[in-house]
Amino acid sequence: MATQNCSKCVMLVTLLVTILFVHPTFSTSRGSLNHHQISQGGFRITLRHVDSGKNLTKLERVQHGINRGHSRLQRLNAMVLASSTTEDSSQVEAPVHAGNGEYLMELSIGTPPISYPAVLDTGSDLIWTQCEPCSQCYKQPTPIFDPKKSSTFSKLSCSSNLCNALPSPTCSNNGCNYVYSYGDYSMTQGILGSETFTFGDDKKNQVSVKNIGFGCGEDNEGKGFEQASGLVGLGRGPLSLVSQLQEQEFSYCLTSMDDTKQSVLLLGSLPNVNATKQVTTPLITNPLQPSFYYISLEGISVGDTKLSIEQSTFEVSDDGSGGVIIDSGTTITYIEENAFDSLKKEFTSQTKLPVDKSGSTGLDVCFSLPSGKTEVEIPKLVFHFKGGDLELPGENYMIADSSLGVACLAMGASNGMSIFGNIQQQNILVNHDLQKETITFIPTQCNKL
């Protein structure tokens, strides 16, 4: 491809060796914040990446995320498969849910409030924490919550709406019991309770909400939760935090994975952001998986070439399979295998660098960096959503590591469901409007929110 057409199809990228990531000389414009407070009724929560504070390169952080993401992708697909093949409703099992995640949020529970870090998960609904008396609990960073020491704790009855919203509740004299499985042998089970939850970054702006239903887990098993004391589901189902708060809007803004500043979750109204570009696309509901945030992806372009992808590739099938979900808990974007093969072929042909075939990174598409060169050209990458085109800045899809001498595409192939991951969402305010049933992408410098 001719370099004189660079403004249309090629992105000039500077490799900043000292911090080991790809930085474009130009990218999608970022919004500037007019004010730092969200409007009355809303509040903000600081998020931190699960690998923050660790001495890792950006590529190493991505590799850790890929290891977590493979299991998560399998769980998500297994959940769809389970829902589409269940024929005998008398054989009820706890369905497979997406567990773990990439970001942690701080909140407090009870009266007096006890602070604990929780995994943020847009791929599941239940809010839960480990509770005393604990028959089996994993090691967590904070003391285990003891409901007997809180004056606002109560057990929810079997007739409560939230109990009926559980996948497979059981009843006892103690109230509503739950079992919630995450598909990789991770699970939590215990009593469904009601408590006061406190949110907010500082005491002046904290908000306390009474009667939040949550799982008080007395038996919690599996890997992936050790950095947190529980999980907060932000899915579309009735058990999730956004549903219980009856918020019609929430958004998050994820800083670059190697940024020292933290990301943010906004519940309620948005901050005013001046954005020269934003893309709004409809949310799709999958009747077999109503909790997931399915988005309307129609195609992908590499440079000025729109890939030849079957129209049905990114659509939800009648059996509930396929489709594209947006997920904060998956690191890289996974594209249906045939579409990814087309992307890989076109991206490789347009990138004037030797292909790295060592397989040392865990990523499918890598290139050898020229010795001593600080700038390389890579093709632009555009996701065509119904409602608009989202052009990704270079750092949202190319990861470079000078010690290995490679630059890699932060995407992979999937079999069935596609996932728009959090690397691709960096420095974009992602607004979920549950009333309008839309997702809006607003390019934003997240570390200034």
Question: Active-site residue numbers?
Answer: 121, 327
Q: What tokens were used for 433?
A: 């409007």
Sheet with 381-385, strands from edge to edge, namely 305-306, 297-302, 381-385, 388-392
**Residue 398 contacts residue 408 (beta carbons within 8 Å):** yes
Calculate the CA dihedral of residues 415, 321, 118, 141 and round it to 10 degrees.
-40
Calculate the CA dihedral of residues 122, 123, 126, 130 and round it to 10 degrees.
-90
**Residue 108 contacts residue 115 (beta carbons within 8 Å):** yes
Q: Which of 61, 48, 47, 50 is nearest to 19 (CA)?
A: 61
Helix-strand-coil split of the chain, %, nearest 5? 15, 40, 45
User: Residues for the chain: how many in total?
Assistant: 449
Q: At which residue do the structure tokens 């058990």 appear?
A: 239
**Residue 397 contacts residue 423 (beta carbons within 8 Å):** yes
Q: What tokens were used for 148?
A: 């007997």
Residues 43-65 as b/e (b if ≥16 CB within 10 A, e otherwise) read bbbbbbbbbbeeebbbbbbbbbb
Q: What tokens were used for 135?
A: 């028959």
DSSP state of 399: E
Q: At which residue do the structure tokens 């059981």 appear?
A: 170
